[in-house]
Amino acid sequence: MTTHQAHPSQRPRPSSGAPDSKASPALWQQLDLAARGLQAVRAGQSARALVQSWPEALRPGAQALLYHTLRHTGTAASLQQQLVARRPQPQVEALLCVALSLLLDDGEPSYAPFTVVDQAVEALRRRRKFSAQAGFVNACLRRFLRERDALLAAAENEPQARWNHPLWWIERLRQDYPDQWRAILAANNQRAPLTLRVNQSRCSRADYLQLLAQRGVAAQPIGAAGVVLGEAMDVRRLPGYADGWFSVQDAGAQLAAPMLLQDAVGAPTDAPLLVLDACAAPGGKTAHLLELAAIRGLPIELLAMDVDATRCERITQNLTRLQLPPSRVVAADASRPQQWCDHLLQGRQLDLLLLDAPCSAAGIVRRHPDIRWLRRASDIEALAAVQQSLLSVLWPLLKPGGRLLYCTCSVFHTEGEDQVRRFLARQDDAQLLAPALQLLPTLAVHHDTVLPAPTPASAAQMPQMHNHDGFFYALLGKRTVA
């Protein structure tokens, strides 16, 4: 439930390149801003946060350029090495990288090549400090256009240039998925669609699709409540936004709430089910749990927790827009239940627990192309340790017969099936209630060596959808140990 503005997956869109008006910023301005953005990402900043601080008039175009560049940085870096004898200043290098990425445009080019060259040169001329480099950049880009095929053929031999991911990432995927690693990397370089989840407590999916069709918005159903839009747009302009008829949520993420609530029934006393969403912000899955409980007439008492108090505000805002029943939103560290357990649970045990754990986000690279460049190899083990600790400290809060859904938006086994395997090995009272599910980005056939291997019957129940992000799900049940 995140994107409200122009969707970051948009292709770079042609602007004339020349006029310097408010309505249509010149391409050189967008190139310049995207190059500054690239430098900031290289310095460790998140692209999404950065883009929010950009002037509104420039934001959609420059963001599309930056995201496009982040999907092509490996190739552009290899080309630069071939084209440039001595490394230019970082600002000039970043601009060269953005311009080369744009010239690489796969599919239909967004801009005529000579417009790109001309506007990249213009961007440097406008920055006094770097104007002397304009001729150098012009020469590099023109040489690329002349020798394109040979330069690209040489780049193809380097894995980082071929796949536009860091080497350690490629290697990890190759080990985890000997047959599918190429398809995963290729999927990561695609643009993600804009996917909605219809709030079925307010409006049926069929009705919403009809409404979109009446407004001329192309859309397809996905999963049980999802809608994939034909093209990216500002979702605030879609019908029902202010009235909470939908949320923005990837189709893979839409599996969490139904999985946790499947077969859930209220306690014999008719007391509401006590549910903790332990890492809840910005509230996408929290809202879905409340929507499903409402349409199924299932009484639940939902506690939405997140360690980040600012992000907790987003949970409240989202639940309010969706007109869902008020829930308790708690800013607290889920890994320290001793700080909140007595006060929040008052001696009760949880019926259901959703642990959407902090992770590498390696499954959502289509939407966040900076992630691959921001992460370090060592982050993965560190995140796995955090996930393991969250699982261990939260498990005792669950009542016997209760269930915990562990999920991450990752495709790395360390954060998914290895994690669960380790947990099951040391936790006698834990069992897997259904085969764990590893969704791979955009692939309709899911990875099928998760533990335990799905039987034909359980595989048949797996959602046959595609065009979703990568996610891992494991539904764990707590049994009574004699």
Ligand X SMILES: C[S@@+](CC[C@H](N)C(=O)[O-])C[C@H]1O[C@@H](n2cnc3c(N)ncnc32)[C@H](O)[C@@H]1O
Which position among 8, 17, 25, 283 is part of the footprint of ligand X (CB under 6 A)? 283
Q: Any idea what the Cα angle at residue 168 is, between residues 163 and 171, rounded to 5°?
A: 70
283 is in an annotated binding site: yes
Q: How far is the CB of 257 from ligand X (least distance, A)?
A: 9
**Per CB under 6 A, does 279 bind ligand X?**
yes
Nearer to ligand X, 124 or 329 (CB): 329
Interaction mask 376-415, ligand X, x per CB under 6 A: ----------------------------------------
Which position among 284, 369, 402, 435 is part of the footprint of ligand X (CB under 6 A)? 284
Nearer to ligand X, 72 or 285 (CB): 285
Q: How far is the CB of 308 from ligand X (least distance, A)?
A: 4
Reading phi first (left if > 0) and then psi (alpha if -120 to 50, else beta), residue 333 is in beta
Q: Enter the tokens of residue 380.
A: 């993965």
**Span 301-360, contacts to ligand X by CB under 6 A:** 305-308, 311, 333-335, 356, 358
478 is in an annotated binding site: no
17 is in an annotated binding site: no
Q: Which DSSP category does 447 fall into?
A: B
Nearer to ligand X, 226 or 284 (CB): 284
Q: Which stretch binds ligand X (CB under 6 A): 49-57, 102-110, 214-222, 273-281?
A: 273-281
Q: How far is the CB of 173 from ligand X (least distance, A)?
A: 20
Nearer to ligand X, 96 or 420 (CB): 420
Nearer to ligand X, 351 or 356 (CB): 356
Tell me how far apart the terminal alpha carbons of the chain are, to the nearest angstrom.
43
Q: What share of the chain is helix, strand, coil (3-state, %, to 5)?
A: 45, 15, 40
Q: Which stretch binds ligand X (CB under 6 A): 5-13, 39-47, 190-198, 299-307?
A: 299-307
284 is in an annotated binding site: yes
Which position among 281, 300, 430, 439 is part of the footprint of ligand X (CB under 6 A)? 281
Q: How far is the CB of 82 from ligand X (least distance, A)?
A: 39
> Going by C-beta distance under 8 Å and a sequence separation of 6 or more, which residues neighbour residue 98?
31, 34, 35, 38, 65, 66, 69, 120
Nearer to ligand X, 98 or 352 (CB): 352
Q: Which stretch binds ligand X (CB under 6 A): 20-28, 87-95, 179-187, 279-287?
A: 279-287
252 is in an annotated binding site: no
Q: How far is the CB of 188 from ligand X (least distance, A)?
A: 18
- CA–CA gap between residue 77 and residue 255 (Å, rounded): 38
Residues known to be catalytic: 409
Among 169, 159, 163, smallest CA distance to 363 is for 169
97 is in an annotated binding site: no
94 is in an annotated binding site: no
Reading phi first (left if > 0) and then psi (alpha if -120 to 50, else beta), residue 95 is in alpha
Burial of 157 (0-12, 13-18, 19+ CB in 10 A): exposed
Helix pair 90-103, 113-125: axis angle to 10 deg = 160
- Cβ count near 138 (within 10 Å): 15
Q: How far is the CB of 384 from ligand X (least distance, A)?
A: 13
- CA–CA gap between residue 89 and residue 96 (Å, rounded): 11
306 is in an annotated binding site: yes
Q: Enter the tokens of residue 137.
A: 């950049």
Nearer to ligand X, 117 or 235 (CB): 235
**Span 422-451, contacts to ligand X by CB under 6 A:** none
**Per CB under 6 A, does 462 bind ligand X?**
no
Among 198, 253, 199, 186, smallest CA distance to 229 is for 198
Reading phi first (left if > 0) and then psi (alpha if -120 to 50, else beta), residue 357 is in beta
- CA–CA gap between residue 159 and residue 169 (Å, rounded): 11
34 is in an annotated binding site: no
**Per CB under 6 A, does 77 bind ligand X?**
no
Q: Enter the tokens of residue 446.
A: 């899911």
Q: Which residues pair with 288 in a beta bridge?
A: none
Q: How many Cα atoms within 13 Å fall on the side-chain side of residue 428?
A: 3
Q: How far is the CB of 430 from ligand X (least distance, A)?
A: 20
- Residue numbers belonging to the annotated binding site for S-adenosyl-L-methionine: 279-285, 306, 333, 356
Q: Contact residues for ligand X (CB under 6 A)? A: 1, 278-285, 305-308, 311, 333-335, 356, 358
- Residue numbers belonging to the annotated binding site: 279-285, 306, 333, 356
